[in-house]
Amino acid sequence: MSGCGSGCGDGSGGPMSEGRELVEFVLQAHGGAISKTPIPNGGLETKCQGCGEAFTLVNFVGQCPKCKGVHAVSPPRCEDQANIQYAGDEFKLAENW
């Protein structure tokens, strides 16, 4: 996989994907390095799309503190919380993520 978050990719998922596809794209981008990179300007205020809990997405991939719902935003779109994508109720990160 060679997704770089700036338009390249292999056609199955990319920075403009939505939902779980976007979350999985960000998780694997640059070997996982992007997912744990802080969002510029302190993160994005958002609401969990699973349970409605308000929280701040600090890194490009983050979890709701309440239900562990996985959310992500791609680097080219990280200036607007409306671009945050939710992976869905069944999607969970690994225990040691």
Site for Zn ion, rule CB under 5 A? 48, 50-51, 53, 64, 66-67, 69
Please state the closest distance from residue 85 (CB atom) to Zn ion, in A. 14
Query: DSSP string of 1-55?
Result: ----SSS---SSS-TT--HHHHHHHHHHGGGGTGGGSBPGGG-EEEE-TTT--EE
Please state the closest distance from residue 95 (CB atom) to Zn ion, in A. 18
Nearer to Zn ion, 35 or 63 (CB): 63
Nearer to Zn ion, 1 or 67 (CB): 67
